[in-house]
Copies of this chain bind each other. A is one copy, B any other.
Amino acid sequence: MIVPSGSRIAFQGERGAFSEEAAVKLLGEDIQLVPRATFEAMYSSIQDGVADYILAPIENSLAGSVHRSYDLLIAGGLQIRAEVVIPIVHNLIGVPGAVFENITQVSSHPVALAQCERFFADHPAIKKITAEDTAGSVRQVMREGDPAKAAIASRRAAEVYGGKILREHLEDHPENYTRFLLLAASGEVAENADKLSLVLHLAHKPGSLCQVLNAFAKRNLNLLKIESRPIPGTPWSYCFYLDLQASLKDANTRAALEELKGHADSVKILGCYPQAKV
């Protein structure tokens, strides 16, 4: 069990959002879900006393790393406890009596609509309607009760609002998945932790990154992700996101981190946790 039974898990969005699907995949049903309207509200939920943990999106396979999430994670001093990756599967969801052939309009978030272009090209008679979010568009369809209307959202949204899934896999690109992090106020390294996430600040000079990577490479610690990000306002200094196959329980890893300190302006450990099976 990753979190105690009944823990309150904050996520961004409405009930039935893809984040909720991710929370349930990682933690099961024995949790309390705390929907928060914005990224900022989600990231402050532990401090605000409304949640015990946060489940935040950090990376999408089409859109890239969510830098805003990294920023708030670093600023909030939170620690990663676990990760989960879910495929973004878009479902067409109508009211219980609806049949696909009678659907004339479909609502969802514009990003979801844009990810289902082929479906709309194949069904030119169906009108697209823009909505504020995916799950909210299902709630709205259910409230109106019109069997000609449907929404595009997660399977979870159909379950939460009692909708009927009329079609599955409307998405154009099957390799659309999002990685979420489970965040807590304090760090605690699980016995099976095998992934380490760091943020480094490095002076921008040829070779400095290489010295850092060497500290890991010579100890046979695999790099899982590396990403540089320019630091606005300080043009010759860079921030790096690193994920490694490594555990803080391992002396080898701790030695690498010690060596790192000599080469980096700052080293911030975001957490050490079990790597998700995709």
Interface residues of A (CB under 8 A from B): 38, 40, 59-68, 109-111, 113-114, 117, 128, 130-133, 173, 175, 204-207, 209-210, 213-214, 216-228, 230, 232, 240
CB pair A64–B63 under 8 Å, yes or no, is yes
| Bound Cα distance A173, B205 (Å) | 29
Of the residues B133, B216, B219, B223, contact of A228 by C-beta under 8 Å: B223
- Chain B hits for A64, CB < 8 A: 59, 63-67, 227
Query: Which residues does chain B contribute within 8 Å of A216, judged by CB atoms?
Result: 206
Please state if B209 and A222 are interface contacts (CB–CB under 8 Å): no
Q: List 18 A-B contacts (CB under 8 A).
A: A38-B114, A61-B67, A62-B67, A63-B63, A63-B64, A64-B64, A113-B132, A130-B132, A205-B222, A206-B217, A209-B213, A209-B226, A210-B210, A210-B213, A223-B228, A224-B228, A227-B227, A227-B228
A38 / chain B contacts, CB cutoff of 8 Å: 114, 117
**Residue of A38, A60, A214, A228 ringed by the most chain B CB atoms within 10 A:** A228
> In the complex, which residues of chain B have a beta carbon less than 8 angstroms from the beta carbon of A59?
64
Measured CB to CB, the nearest residue on chain B to A176 is B68
| Minimum Cβ distance to chain B for residue A230 (Å) | 8
Q: In the complex, A225 Cα to B65 Cα: how many Å?
A: 14
Chain B residues with CB under 8 A of A65: 64-65
Please, how many angstroms separate the alpha-carbon atoms of A239 and B207 in the complex? 21
Q: Give 19 A-B pairs besides A61-B232, A110-B110, A227-B227 with Cβ atoms closer than 8 angstroms.
A: A38-B114, A38-B117, A59-B64, A62-B66, A63-B66, A63-B68, A64-B64, A64-B227, A109-B110, A110-B111, A110-B132, A206-B217, A206-B219, A206-B223, A207-B214, A207-B218, A209-B223, A224-B228, A227-B228
Q: Chain B contacts of A224 at CB under 8 A?
A: 228
Partner pick for A131 among B130, B209, B210, CB 8 A cutoff: B130
A63-B63, A232-B61 given; A222·B204 CB < 8 A: yes
Q: How distant is A238 from chain B, measured CB to nearest CB, in Å?
A: 8
Distance of A220 Cα from B232 Cα, bound (Å): 24
How many Å from the CB of A63 to the closest CB on chain B? Answer: 6
Q: Which residue of B lies closest to A202 (CB)?
A: B223
Partner of A210, one of B67, B128, B132, B217: B217
